[in-house]
Every structure is written in structure tokens, then in C-alpha cells.
Amino acid sequence: MLGKKLVTAQKRGETRALCLGLGMVACSMMMYFFIGITIVPFYTKSVWTTETVCKVLKANIKDKVLCPDSEGSEEEDIFPYPCLQVWVNLTASGQEVMLYQTEDTLERNPKCSYIPDKLENAKEVKAQIETIASNFKKYHTFPCYYEPGGTQTNVILSRLYPPKGLLFTFLWPTLMFTGGCLIIVLVKISQYVSVLSAWQ
């Protein structure tokens, strides 16, 4: 009687562990799919792949402009802000080009190097942009990214999805997938050993 209860409890435990392993594998596959349709296209679309050194030539704050983020955005997302324009000397080619914060900055507003977060206090936005401009004037040289093909006559300060960031994004689903597969393998080994013991 006790032996039957132990076998039943063992089978229940194996079933639960097997369901856990399969669930982890399924979740990791869903995460892979989500990353593949959201992050990977942005990474592959970016042409600013080569790192070089940029030297600041001028950093000017123009009059307020409207954020022309009109495609797929709400009316309330459009707000005025001072336009910071940073021009740098590209060490790789010696050209004078405009610097943008990220790839997204160029798409949203090609006139400005930086787009601040929407803040209700206009003084805070102005102070933030003035601080960024002074930092550019203070630190003359810094690493930046450019397109080696030369079709883009501008550079970016940082990539939205650098290679290390993309690898880190794939790390968690990979660990979950490996853990799920390991649980399934251990359950199958346990079942095999149980059948072998019962046969002997």
C-alpha cells in the first residue's frame, strides 16, 4: 500500500516537473519571438555601426521648436522645446557633421541633436538642455558612431541597441530555455531509471 502511494506521489511530481519544464521552454520561445519582432529589426536597421572619436565644434541652442513626432503619436505628445544643435568633427573622415543622441532622435526631429522628455515646467526643460550644451562644450572629445558607407552625413552619440545590449536581451530567454530543457531531461532520466529498476 505504501509502495503504491510512493509511486503515485512520484508520478505526480514528475508530471508537475515536466509541465514546469515545458512551460519554461514555451515561455522562452515566446520571448524569442517577441524580441525578434521588436528589438532585432531596430538593431539591423541601424547603419551607425562603427565607433570613432568626435570633437565638438559648436553647440548652439536655437529657438523653441515643436517636436514633429506626428506619425502614430497623440496630439498631447507634441510639445515645444529649445532646439540644441551640436556640430562635431568626425575623426575618421575629417567632416563637419551634426550629432544626434540616438537613431530615434534623427527620425523624430532631424533639426535638433537632442529631444528632451516631456516636462510641464518649461524652465526645467531649458535648464536641462543648457546643462547638456555646457557638457558638450566642457568635454570636447568623446566616442560616437558613424556609418562607414558614407550615405548618412551625421553621427549618433549612442546606439539604442548595441551588440552587448542585444546579447543581454537574449540572455534571459536562453537561461529559461536551458533550464526548461534540463528539467525535462532530468524527468526523463528519472522515469527511465524507475522503469529499469521495476523491470529488474
Check if the beta carbon of residue 177 is closer than 8 Å to that of residue 29. yes
Q: 58 and 157: one domain?
A: yes
**pLDDT, position 198:** 66
Q: 104 and 54: one domain?
A: yes
Q: 127 and 168: one domain?
A: no
Residue 136, domain member (yes or no)? yes
Q: 74 and 115: one domain?
A: yes
Residue 141, domain member (yes or no)? yes
Q: 104 and 188: one domain?
A: no
Q: Please, what is the Cα angle at 44 between 148 and 113, to 5 degrees?
A: 65
Q: 90 and 157: one domain?
A: yes
Using alpha carbons, list the distances in angstroms from residue 197 to 42, 59, 190, 200: 54, 77, 10, 5
**pLDDT, position 173:** 92
Q: 131 and 182: one domain?
A: no
Q: 102 and 134: one domain?
A: yes
**pLDDT, position 178:** 94
Domain holding 106, by residue range, is 50-161
Using alpha carbons, list the distances in angstroms from residue 32 to 99, 100, 200: 33, 30, 44
Question: What CA–CA distance (Å, rounded) separates 33 from 37?
Answer: 6
Check if the beta carbon of residue 185 is closer than 8 Å to that of residue 12. no
Count up the domains in the chain and report the number.
2
Q: 54 and 146: one domain?
A: yes
**pLDDT, position 176:** 93
Q: 86 and 139: one domain?
A: yes
- Closest by Cα among 41, 118, 31 to 76: 118
Q: 142 and 186: one domain?
A: no
Residue 60, domain member (yes or no)? yes
Per-residue model confidence as pLDDT tens for the chain (200 residues): 544 554 555 677 778 888 888 999 999 999 999 988 888 887 877 788 888 888 998 888 887 665 554 444 454 456 678 888 999 988 766 778 899 998 888 888 888 888 887 766 778 888 888 888 888 888 888 888 988 876 777 889 888 888 787 888 899 999 999 999 999 898 888 878 777 776 76
